[in-house]
Amino acid sequence: MTRVATRIVTWAVLVLTFAIFVFPLYYLIVTSLKTKAELFQAVPSLFPHDPTIEPYVSVLIARGFLGLLLNSVIVGLASTTLALVIAFAICYPITRLPIRPGLRGFVLNWALSLRFLPPIAVVIPYFTIVRTIGLYNQIPALILVYTIFNLPLSIWMLKGFLEQIPAEVEEAALVDGGNRFQAFRLVILPLASTGILAAGIIVFAFDWAEFLFAFILTATPQSMTFPVGVQGLVTQFEIIWNDMAAGGVIAILLPLVLMLFARRYVIAGLTFGVIREK
């Protein structure tokens, strides 16, 4: 009897928790599908009575957020690629070649310590640099800053994946007469490709979500990223909730889809690869 009672209580707690976590998102989606008329009803509804995609069209076309979306994608792809290439160049020697443990430890420790620096403190000198070299409100500035910002995570994730490849595989290739570059290109790279892709997805999702740097280093739609635009919707056009919600949904959509592909690596990504799913 008490066992049944505890089971019922625990399931009730779980369902309630689940509802608390999901309901805010539900309300966001509902709001983004409402018409202007429905928005200003005396009592806001919990269901869209006349679902419409008009807020999405309004945000993307009329307000021109399609351009911001494009900026976000360009910045994300470029800086993800750069960060991965640099991280790989750093990780290959420290995982696949004999190197003094002290040096290896220094590189990894230093990278992890960057995670502790608050972006707002870092962005203040960046802002001065970017303005001095004439890159203020330019996409390349964001690409550069995002690359540095994402390097620590990229280094730690790639290090984790590269370490998993047994030394024997590479040695076998070397014994078979290949040189180190061939062993790298034909053995290591293919074996690490899943890990590289996973790290790429996580880093891209972080770039996509980044707000503070873009907010401070850009000023016009020419280089603004999507989250900066959404922030503008909130603070400048507060009353047009359906557009604001549509902007939120669009911002959420891409990371959600990416997460479904890389779900096994999300936790690794958030904990610098310290925790890895089996």
Partner 1 sequence: MTAGASGGTLGTAPAIPPSRGPLALPARIRASWSERSRQERLALRLLLPMFGLVFVVATVPFILAVIRAVTSDTGTFVGADNLGRALSNEQLYEAIKQTGVYGLVFLPTEILLGLGIALLVHRTVRSPLVRAAIYVAAMIPIVIPQVAVGVVFRLLYIPDYGLINVLLGQTGHDQILWLSNPSLAMFAVASVDVWQWTPFVYLIMFAGLQTVPPESVEAAQLDGASSWAQFRHIELHYLRPLLLLVLFFRLADVLRVFDHVYILTGGGPGTTTQFLSLYLYRIAFDFSDLGQASALAVVVMAFMTALYTVISRFLPADTN
Question: Could you say which residues in the range 162-221 bind partner 1, by CB under 8 A?
Answer: 171-172, 174-175, 177-180, 182-183, 205, 208-209, 211-212, 216
Least distance to partner 1 from the beta carbon of 2, Å?
13
DSSP secondary structure code for residue 206 in this structure: H
DSSP-assigned letters across all residues of 42-99: SS--SS-SS--SHHHHIIIIIS-HHHHHHHHHHHHHHHHHHHHHHHHHHHHHHHHS--
Nearest approach in angstroms of CB 98 to partner 1 is 5
In a 3-state reduction of DSSP, which class is residue 243?
helix
For partner 1, the closer of residues 178 and 221 by Cβ is: 178
Q: Which is nearer to partner 1, 139 or 173 (CB)?
A: 173
* Among positions 73, 77, 112, 197, the unique one binding partner 1 when judged by CB under 8 A: 112
Which residues 63-82 are close enough to bind partner 1 by CB under 8 A?
none
Query: Residue type at 260?
Result: L
- Quote helix, strand, coil % in the chain, to nearest 5: 75, 0, 25
Axis-axis angle for helices 65-96, 226-236 (nearest 10): 140
Q: How many residues bind partner 1 (CB under 8 A)?
A: 100
Cβ-based nearer residue to partner 1, 90 or 162: 90
CB of 198 to partner 1, least distance (A): 14
- Contact status: 14 vs partner 1 (CB under 8 A): yes
Angle at 169 between CA 163 and CA 173, to 5 degrees: 130
| 267 touching partner 1, by CB under 8 A | yes
Of positions 86, 165, 191, 197, contacts partner 1 by CB under 8 A = 86
